[in-house]
């Protein structure tokens, strides 16, 4: 079976879309090619890298990418992971299925690093659960 490709889109491609890309690569590397991008690009969030390392997934080599890089490519799925990206994402003619998964922005949380890490871990676990559900739905078809 041919690998399917998934593009995860977020506003800045620093946290949620990066985690989704890393999870899909880690959980189902033989079935999917995973990519992520943002409406704008910045840097991969160090706290996102930290909470993913806690569960054995290394995101330290991932880079923040702008959506423009992928506009001419074809994807089996385009999945927005934040509401802003869902509202602002351009039409991709080469996308078979478009979905929206809404996750809170952990980078918007204020407080001590430990307080912020609690939120990052919650979002990480929500994304992992959603990726697992996505894969379960895929095998049901």
Question: Which residues, in sequence order, are bridge partners of residue 99?
Answer: 79
Beta bridge partners of 9: 37, 80
Q: Is 79 exposed, middle or buried (0-12, 13-18, 19+ CB in 10 A)?
A: buried
Of 16, 74, 72, 20, which is closest to residue 45 (Cα–Cα)? 16
- Any idea which residues carry the catalytic annotation? 10, 82, 89
How many Cβ atoms from other residues are within 10 Å of residue 33's Cβ? 15
């Amino acid at each position: 079976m041919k690998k399917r490709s998934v593009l995860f889109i977020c506003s800045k491609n620093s946290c949620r879309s990066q985690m989704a890309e890393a999870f899909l690569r880690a959980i189902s590397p033989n079935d999917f090619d995973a990519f992520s991008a943002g409406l704008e690009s910045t840097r991969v969030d160090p706290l996102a890298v930290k909470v993913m390392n806690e569960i054995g997934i290394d995101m330290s080599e991932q880079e923040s990418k702008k959506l423009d890089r992928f506009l001419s490519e074809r994807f089996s799925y385009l999945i927005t992971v934040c509401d802003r990206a869902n509202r602002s994402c351009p039409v991709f003619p080469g996308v078979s299925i478009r979905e929206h998964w809404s996750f809170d922005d952990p980078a918007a949380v204020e407080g001590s690093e430990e307080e912020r890490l609690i939120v990052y871990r919650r979002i990480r676990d929500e994304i992992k659960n959603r990726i697992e559900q996505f894969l379960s739905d895929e095998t049901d078809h």
